[in-house]
Amino acid sequence: MLRGSLRSRAVVGGLFALSLLGSVFARPGEAADLAKGEKIYKMMCLKCHGETGKGDGPKAKELSKKPANYSDPGFFAKRPDEDLKKVVIEGKEPMPSFQARLKDKDVDDVIAYIKAFSKK
C-alpha cells in the first residue's frame, strides 16, 4: 500500500519534471505552428486584413489606409520576415501594436500564416 503510493508519487513527480523540461526547450527557432497562427489571425487580424489576406476585412473600409494584399506573391518577396515582425510588434498607423498581446513565437506563427496566403 505504502510502496504503491510512493511509486505513484514518483511517477507524478517525473511527469512534472518532464513537462518543465518541455517548456524550457520550447524556444524560438523551432518550426512555425500554422494552426496557432491561423487562430491568432482569425481572432486579431482578420477584421482588417480579410479572410484571405486581401486587405478587405469588415473593418478595412473605416481605416485611413487599406492593408496590403497578402495573396500577391510579389508582396512578401520585397519584405523580409524581420520587417513584417516589426510592424506586428510595434504597429504602423492605423494598425495597432500587438506587443502586449502576442509572444515572440506567436508573432512568428501568425506571420508564417499570412505568408501562406500568397502560396495558395
- The binding site for ligand HEC (CB under 6 A) comprises 40, 44-45, 47-49, 59, 63, 65, 67-68, 84, 87-88, 92, 94-95, 98, 110, 114
Q: Which residues contact 63 (CB under 8 A, 6 or more apart)?
A: 48, 94
Minimal distance, residue 44 CB to ligand HEC, in Å: 4
Cell matching residue 26: 520550447
Minimal distance, residue 24 CB to ligand HEC, in Å: 27
Distance CA 120, CA 118 (A): 6
Give 27 or 62: the residue with its C-beta nearer to ligand HEC. 62
Give 32 or 110: the residue with its C-beta nearer to ligand HEC. 110
Distance CA 16, CA 6 (A): 15
